[in-house]
Amino acid sequence: MVLHCVLILSLFSGWAVGYKQGDNVTLYVNKVGPYHNPQETYHYYTLPVCRPEKVHHKSLSLGEVLDGDRMAESLYHIRFRENVEKKILCHLTLSEKQVDELREAIEELYYFEFVLDDIPIWGFVGYIEESGFLPHSHKVALWTHLDFNIEYNGNSVIFANVSVKDINLTVTHTYSVHWFESTLTHARRAERLRDYSFFPKTLEIHWLSIINSLVLVVLLLGFVIIILMRVLKNDFARYNMEEEGGCDDLDQGDNGWKIIHTDVFRFPPFKSLMCAVLGVGAQFLTLATGIIVMALLGMFNVHRHGAINSAAIVLYALTSCVSGYVSCSFYTQINGQRWVWNIILTSSLFSAPLFLTWSVVNSIHWWSGSTQALPATTVLLLLGAWVLVGFPLTVIGGIVGKNRAGNFQAPCRTRNIARQIPAQPWYKHTVVHMAIGGFLPFSAISVELYYIFATVWGREQYTLYGILLCVFAILLSVGACISVALTYFLLSGEDYRWWWRSVLSTGSTGLFIFVYSVFYYRNRSSMSGLVQSTEFFGYSLLTALVFSLMLGSVSFWASLAFIRYIYRSLKMD
């Protein structure tokens, strides 16, 4: 329970702090790193810069640690509403090695991040001048003066930024502080940071692109639904006119989906794995919905460092009961016997790849000295969250699901001897269905996917959560409709192996997302290096897995509901 409270409390930070004139406003130094590699960050004090004799670190939330923050007190003395002009911070005498470190950092476009009253402040460590061809001139310079511009309203800090000026030949670091009154209230100060342009602005309002995608999706869904309903109407009319006997006599003298009614509900192979996929998919569907709802409620603003990371961990632990319940309940319905193994498989289906990927990525961060490497205490906290919360809830959900599971509802009984499946044309093969079922949902979210990648792997702050909710609903709707259509075409060819096919067809969207991530890395970003590349591709694989599990679960339940509907609609004695 204590661990639970720690995780939940880590979501909330950034409450308004009131200052009186002359009060100390602490400026924390945080991290530095290459501009084009957002996840490759190092502690600010790894550079030869001004630092106190004894470094005092700020107590951080779980989300801040996961975000790579390592805030420490600085030598900058800033007092509320008191201006400072060119105050000396420190004098430094640099060794040859330290000069090389600074030169390398400047040539790699290192930027720094400070934090003042939970407001991030960014600036570059230095700059490069290139001039001439023959002879060529290459100059590297260090910014030694920082000019802080801080806006306030009443007793609250609203916004802060820094400009770099006055390059001194001797390494004497100075700084200035200027206070400006603002009309924005503390509750609205996130708007000021959102409009600040240290990083390039690419997240403009993209309603037109979303409307375009929405229109295409509506037309697609309308086409699929209308055509499918017309075909089904004709099928029902023909089958019911010919109906003379019971359900077991429906396969006399006809072909199509009616003739396989005694095999369509034949349980699939690898029952436990399928149920685990459905359970974990339902868990991520719940988690994604919860994250979007929390974002719409304003819980993730730019001043709450890592809040969305903390929320994801808390929700993942709490929604473990969903995966256990769904998986074990359906496993029991389809006559599964090894329910204990099913629970273990469900709990490890995503957590095992996550742990393996994190181990590799964290080891590389630790080797490079990056702040993205998690401390041992944070690792123990996360492990405790899974061992003490996530896994027990999976077991509890599985036991409840097993005890509450009824019989599998099938309109027609299944014969003991399976019917022979006729040869299928090439366009009904699994690979073709996966290509169609994966591409259409991907095309529905491709526009928004760019903005999400620019936020996660770039420098943007995503705030259009209403659009994100619409796109998420579109994604699920397209996945369900395409799965139903592909399932119908499969059954019409007298192929009753729809169970795994329905999962794989739309679940293949994850493959398209991973291919897009490779395209984004090569053509839409400037990321490079072992550290950044390992993290990008490692977590992109996990993202693709999440989408595959989530959409595979949605498409399966849609196909199951459709099959039950069409066979229940036949007249039977």
Read off the pLDDT of residues 276-298 as tens digits, 9 standing for 90 and up: 999 999 999 999 999 999 988 88
Q: Cα–Cα distance between 64 and 305 in angstroms, integer?
A: 5
Q: What are phi and psi of 139, to 5 degrees?
A: -115, 140
Cα first-last separation, the chain: 56
Q: Which pLDDT score, from 0 to 100, does residue 128 have?
A: 87
| Nearest Cα residue to 354 out of 101, 118, 542, 571 | 542
Per-residue pLDDT tens for 244-267?
A: 444 444 444 445 778 888 888 999
Per-residue pLDDT tens for 225-246?
A: 777 777 777 766 766 665 544 4
Is the CB of residue 493 less than 8 Å from the CB of residue 424? yes
- The residues facing 179 across adjacent strands are 150
Helices (H), 126-269: 189-194, 207-242
Q: Which pLDDT score, from 0 to 100, does residue 12 have?
A: 46
Query: Among 83-97, 204-218, 295-309, 462-476, which is the least confidently predicted range?
Result: 204-218
Structure tokens of 33? 């790193």
Q: Cα–Cα distance between 32 and 29 in angstroms, integer?
A: 9
Q: Which residue has the higher pLDDT, 284 or 144?
A: 284
Residue 46: pLDDT over 90: yes
Average pLDDT over residues 381-398: 94
Helices (H), 163-306: 189-194, 207-242, 271-296
Q: pTM value?
A: 0.84
Containing 170, the helix (H) or strand (E) segment is none
- The residues facing 178 across adjacent strands are 149
Average pLDDT over residues 143-171: 81
Q: Cα–Cα distance between 116 and 123 in angstroms, integer?
A: 14
Q: Which pLDDT score, from 0 to 100, does residue 253 have?
A: 43
Q: Which pLDDT score, from 0 to 100, does residue 456 have?
A: 87
Q: Which pLDDT score, from 0 to 100, does residue 13 have?
A: 47
Is the CB of residue 210 less than 8 Å from the CB of residue 467? yes
Structure tokens of 36? 């084009």
Q: Which pLDDT score, from 0 to 100, does residue 194 have?
A: 65
- The residues facing 59 across adjacent strands are none
Q: Which pLDDT score, from 0 to 100, does residue 567 have?
A: 84
Residue 447: band (very low, low, confident or very high) from pLDDT cuts 50, 70, 90: confident
Give burial (CB, 10 Å; 0-12/13-18/19+) of 558.
buried
Structure tokens of 261? 């009614």
Is the CB of residue 347 less than 8 Å from the CB of residue 38? no
Per-residue pLDDT tens for 335-382?
A: 888 899 999 999 999 999 999 999 999 999 999 999 999 999 999 999
Q: What are phi and psi of 21, to 5 degrees?
A: -60, 130
Residue 129: pLDDT over 90: no
Average pLDDT over residues 145-154: 91
Q: Which pLDDT score, from 0 to 100, does residue 166 have?
A: 54
Residue 11: band (very low, low, confident or very high) from pLDDT cuts 50, 70, 90: very low
Q: What share of the chain is helix, strand, coil (3-state, %, to 5)?
A: 55, 15, 30
Is the CB of residue 243 less than 8 Å from the CB of residue 250? yes
Q: What residue type is 370 in one-letter code?
A: S
Q: Which pLDDT score, from 0 to 100, does residue 428 have?
A: 86
Q: Which residue has the higher pLDDT, 308 or 187?
A: 308
Residue 4: pLDDT over 60: no
Q: Which pLDDT score, from 0 to 100, does residue 302 have?
A: 58
Cβ partners under 8 Å of residue 522, min gap 6: none
Q: Cα–Cα distance between 488 and 481 in angstroms, integer?
A: 11
Residue 61: band (very low, low, confident or very high) from pLDDT cuts 50, 70, 90: confident
Residue with tokens 């961990």: 313
Residue 206: band (very low, low, confident or very high) from pLDDT cuts 50, 70, 90: low
Q: Which residue has the higher pLDDT, 13 or 219?
A: 219
Cβ partners under 8 Å of residue 38, min gap 6: 457, 458, 459, 527, 532
Residue 465: band (very low, low, confident or very high) from pLDDT cuts 50, 70, 90: confident
Is the CB of residue 544 less than 8 Å from the CB of residue 513? yes
Cβ partners under 8 Å of residue 222, min gap 6: none
Per-residue pLDDT tens for 523-570?
A: 988 898 999 999 999 999 999 999 999 999 999 999 999 999 888 876
Instruction: State whether residue 280 is helix, strand or coil.
Output: helix
Inter-CA distances, 10 with 5, 55, 83, 296, 306, Å: 8, 24, 34, 19, 9
Q: Which residue has the higher pLDDT, 206 or 535?
A: 535
Residue 410: pLDDT over 90: no
For 256-280, give one letter per residue: b (16+ CB within 10 A) or e: ebbbbbbbbbbeeeebbbbbbbbbb
Per-residue pLDDT tens for 435-444?
A: 999 998 998 8
Q: Which residue has the higher pLDDT, 209 or 170?
A: 209
Per-residue pLDDT tens for 65-91?
A: 988 899 999 999 999 999 999 899 999
Average pLDDT over residues 452-458: 86
Per-residue pLDDT tens for 28-44?
A: 999 999 988 888 999 99
Cβ partners under 8 Å of residue 387, min gap 6: none
Q: Which pLDDT score, from 0 to 100, does residue 495 have?
A: 87
Structure tokens of 427? 């366009």
Q: Cα–Cα distance between 491 and 496 in angstroms, integer?
A: 6
Percent of the chain with pLDDT over 70: 86
Greatest CA separation found in the chain? 100
Containing 336, the helix (H) or strand (E) segment is none
Q: Which pLDDT score, from 0 to 100, does residue 212 have?
A: 67
Q: Which pLDDT score, from 0 to 100, does residue 287 have?
A: 96
